[in-house]
Structure 1
Amino acid sequence: MTTAHPVRGRALGPGQAGTGNARVSNSDRRRRRGTSGHGNIGWLFLTPSLIGVLIFIVVPLLWSLVLSVMNWQLGGAATFVGFDNYARLFQDEGFRTAALNTTVYVAAFVPAVVILSLAMAAWIAAQKRQKPIFRILYFLPFATPIVANMIVWKLMLTPGGLFSGLAGSGAPNFLGTGSWAMTSLIVVSVWQSLGYNMLILGAAIDAVPESQLEAAEIDGAGALTRFRAIVLPMISPSLFFVVIITTIHAFQVFAQAYVLTGGGPGEATMTVVMFIFQKAFTELDFGYASAAGWVLFFVIIIFTAIQGLVQRRNVNYDS
């Protein structure tokens, strides 16, 4: 009686029936050992980065959570206070002002950046020969340091600066009046952030198949109709990413306000992150500052989750 070889398909004698299985098993074992070895090498290369993440992100994050339920000032003894720091926050007029200012900033900044960067990306995508030049020019503000940009804008917006000189004696005090200071902060921040979003959305628009746009044009669809019915659905994943990242960065605004206005005049441009910075590094109340940081963290998580639910209906992942 003969049996077929399970791999090569040739007939084997009765004494050879198990040899093929043994060969296959040995081959599988060698392959698995090789795959396991590659996995170990990968973890070896990842180890320095994982150590950095553990030391500089995970440990400080957990330590700040512990501090948020403690009353601890630098150089003093730490005492457990439970949720007293969180209760203090919602009774603190300064924190409420900072939260309101941050909300106003986010509500104005995010739509302005997303809409303007989308319009700019669509316009640059239509420029065939000058497209790389325009992208480089509009990306430069994002590539340059925020502090340097804010110092230049501060010099231009202060009384006696460029804008005051152009507007004459009737020029408003852009950084010395509450409403103008917040408006100036939003405008300058939009200018700073446009390039990054424009680059992402521009790459997504370039990936839209020309054949679909040409077919729609042949069917009589105008430019706006093609953009609304074809381009927007196809770039919706990139658009959703831009909205999420822009919202997170807006809630964390710090350097722009700190350099441009210092949170003033009064507390007109005081943001939540500036409030945390002031409590931690000026008043050295690290427990209270940690509680404020965790409140901001949960607010960002909630907004991100809401946007994640919205994207299920409005984001198209089909190619």
Structure 2
Amino acid sequence: MAHGGRRQRAFIGSFTAAGGPGIVTAAVAADGALTVLSSLNGVPDPAYLALAPDGRTLYAVSETADGKVAAYDVTGDAPEPAGAPVPVGGDAPTHLSVFAGHVLTANYGSGSVTAVPLRPDGTLAGGPSAVLQHTGAGPCAPRQQGPHAHQVQPDPSGRWAVSVDLGTDSVRVCALTAAGLELHREIALRPGSGPRHLAFYPDGSHAYVVNELTPTVVVCRWDAAEGSLKPLAEVPLLPGAPAGDAYPSGVVVSPDGRFVWTATRGEDVLSVLAAEGDALRLLATVPCGGHWPRAITESNGVLYVANERSGDVTWFALDPADGVPRRAGSVRVPAASCVVFD
């Protein structure tokens, strides 16, 4: 059950420029099935959503040239704007998270990370208090001619902000101080790999970085005390060479740490891997239930896939024995970008 005794809800982002309705609210049944309740076209192209820790406020990034972040009160039946959207000081913000009293955004177009301060009530206090500009490039033109920050999130200890940059083939570890966002360490990954997203192991001992430009995931050891990430192995996500285009997108770790799931666009599959200490082992791949799986989310033993180009969110029951997703249903959401749960 969600806050206030209300059954859990899902909030689904969608790209308005591609015909999406904006932010969709859906009811979540006991078996994980989604039923659309309402939609809100609040900001253009909400590429990613994040909830405040208390579940009362929903944040959305507008992936446009004049990137903005917006806040919504979700204590009622449907999201309500909580103040005006504010600029992030970056181009095409594509991901966001809540960290240390701020909303952090990963700005793909400008290759930067922004910190937007929050008031105690969860509303946005104004424009960015800090912008950390990434630098560098990679060997794969035209995708890596400069930095492209694709994700930013807190580590499990809550001490560090970790950003993944597709353009520079690296992960950056940052601290948020009175002086702003400060770079603590940059970790280089294989040139041309194009890292996109990262997910932590539940106990914070490991992290898994999914690459977009090659269908692989990198197993890393994470040391929160030192704020250091050590790449250990790069594991293929597909059995054999991909038949055509293959662009991995999301990565999720099961709450018990036994399995890792990824989505790959083009091939339109979900990969299931067994987490075995410093290693990952590919167990299976299954169809994602649509076309162009942009993001995946796990909730209560169900895996949800936002299929951008087929315009739906598909959900899968997860076999507790082998981790294999089994398709259970779908709901129409044009140009779906992500799914989060309250």
Q: Report the structure, 1 or 2, having the larger helix content.
A: 1
Q: Which has the higher contact order (CA 8 A, sep 6+)?
A: 1
Fold match by TM threshold 0.5: no
User: Which structure would you say has the larger Rg?
Assistant: 1
Q: TM-score range by the shorter chain?
A: under 0.3
Higher strand share: 2
